[in-house]
């Protein structure tokens, strides 16, 4: 899968309902989405990660972004794991966890290559790699990050990247290294100075190809 590709549609059971499957495109509606995968339930790193995402519920909702987790385990295990997450991470898990049989993981290219480690198998399937996708309301994949098993994901960084993507969709800008919301942004390099002045009012030129301006997230 490449950036800009359509995210695959799918139907799968999830913790959102004991009987009704989750239809991804219908569930997504006109929202952004964070989809992130886990190799199995009751794994220590992933337990802390789901807790971190749960505590950011309000932040993602403010950005019109839904969260969807995935693990190749049955629904009963997901519900039991959710109780552990809420108990140990002091949170309320308000997003669905997909009970995948490997179908969704294959669609998104989230199965590890057993040639890299033949022991990295479970029930005849390669383990699910720990990938994060940001998907926009047009169902396009806008960001992919894959983490090794020993490294916990930084969801503050994922939230920062979401802010940058949404801002760049609204205005003709890019964000510099280590950008944080409220800091200067880069005027898109293919804009003329005249168009940049009309768009932003003022900007700071370091080099002809490197121009900065100040924007707020809600502009």
**The pLDDT of residue 6:** 97
Q: What does the pLDDT look like over 103-144, one tens digit per residue? A: 898 899 886 654 445 445 445 544 556 789 999 999 999 999
pTM over 0.85: yes
User: Which listed CATH number (3.90.660.10, 3.10.580.10, 3.30.1020.10, 3.40.1010.10) goes with 171-213?
Assistant: 3.30.1020.10
Clarify whether 46 is annotated catalytic. yes
Q: What does the pLDDT look like over 166-184, one tens digit per residue? A: 999 999 999 999 999 999 9
Options 33, 46, 65, 91, the catalytic residue: 46
Which CATH code fits 11-153? 3.40.30.10
Contact 42/71 with Cβ under 8 angstroms?
no
A 10 A CB-CB count for 155 gives 21
Reading the block at residue 56, the tokens are 């950011």
Q: What does the pLDDT look like over 66-75, one tens digit per residue? A: 999 999 889 9
b/e burial code for range 67-80 (CB count within 10 A of at least 16 → b): bbbbbbbebeebee
**The pLDDT of residue 116:** 47
Please state the rounded mean pLDDT for residues 90-98: 97
Boundaries of every domain in the chain: 11-153, 171-213
């Amino acid at each position: 899968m490449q950036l800009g590709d359509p995210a695959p549609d799918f139907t799968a059971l999830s913790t959102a309902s004991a009987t009704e499957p989750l239809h991804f495109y219908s569930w997504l509606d006109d929202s952004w989405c964070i989809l992130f995968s886990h190799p199995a339930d009751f794994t220590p790193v992933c337990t802390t990660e789901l807790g971190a995402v749960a505590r950011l519920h309000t932040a993602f909702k403010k950005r019109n972004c839904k969260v969807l987790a995935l693990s190749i385990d049955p629904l009963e295990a997901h519900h039991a794991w959710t109780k552990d997450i809420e108990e140990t991470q002091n949170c309320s898990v308000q997003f669905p966890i997909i009970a995948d049989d490997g179908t969704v993981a294959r669609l998104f290219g989230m199965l590890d290559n057993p040639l890299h480690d033949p022991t990295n198998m479970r029930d005849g399937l390669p383990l699910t790699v720990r990938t994060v996708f940001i998907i926009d309301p047009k169902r396009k994949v806008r960001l992919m990050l894959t983490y090794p098993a020993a490294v916990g994901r930084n969801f503050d960084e994922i939230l920062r990247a979401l802010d940058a993507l949404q801002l760049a969709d609204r205005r003709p800008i890019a964000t510099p290294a280590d950008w944080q919301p409220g800091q200067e942004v880069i005027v898109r390099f293919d804009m003329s100075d005249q168009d940049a002045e009309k768009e932003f009012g003022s900007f700071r030129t370091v080099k002809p190809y490197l121009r900065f301006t100040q924007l707020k997230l809600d502009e």
